[in-house]
A and B are shown apart, each in its own frame.
Chain A
């Protein structure tokens, strides 16, 4: 760590090897496989630049995780308008009541979830991943994304209902 701060790229590469599987998984969840590699590179370049600011108040894993979330969210802001980034209010996704057979199929692997999450607009996706996967609170998510707590809650609910719709549709098709 001290060596990586002092400019030793070999030491930094060891740090990268130890942490990249988690960071890559996170960027894939948040931004999809297409952009995950580039974003992960951005995360580690930024970590290199800011390593001297790491104070050891959290673990390095947590510090990198936060940094990755920020890198992904900054990138979201370049994707379309706010309206395009979130699920529309009043979408009929909330008014559908599924047929009673649905819950019996169970939820498969992360694979299914990944595919379904890919169809969410990036802001709604971020809310879902941050809350339901990464364990962030609505207050933190609101701050990160620049939305109200109410919007975070409502986007989470819409994302969940939408995912449920995608997954049940996938189920029906197979």
Chain B
């Protein structure tokens, strides 16, 4: 008799997201949700403000998720989640994980006040920002998460965005919350592990998930994972964790840092950039990467000296 062949899966087989969602092909935000729910399980409540995900979920009376969703006002993801958590606790449910799930616009811009408030109070919620680097729901307008050099409909090529991306992770680290992490849809096992870890921590936990958007980035849907991987390999979007605002741990250190041009050239939104502008972008990435290495090694030194 033939021996049955088994395949070992690196993620649980359970799905909390069903077919029939309304996302574009190759949508990174959609994958992010699928992986996050695999880690958090069904005892989860989502607070989703206006963003692509308020459409992706599907029209009333349908929903593509097996967890309850509160579609909330654009600027209120964090405050809504704080309220839901308190409400659930007061009606006797202390277990359910409450997640605020917002885009970069809802996090870096209009929702940052509520997010800062919840983080300062250390409310017991997980805040996930899936970052596609612009307001996609409304048709690709710039946000403060849009990187230097990018085209959007409000930063046309002649006036492309000439400010750097806001450093949301530094801002959240400055709140000294118990846990924050960056993650990527190209590294689902890493994302899964960190989300599992976060689930067991009490207090405000923040995730910044890199989520390519073929529609807004003018990239090919089949390049979504490639782009997300390149973002990590070029150190454009490093994967790391920060505990209590101080303890930095880099999760993936590329053996050989790839040049950012490899990443930029796959996306129409950067196609106008000159070599000089690309050099500027590269220099910015190098600076940020060194800063991160320093922060991570400082804490290594600290823990060696202190323990």
Do the two chains bind? no
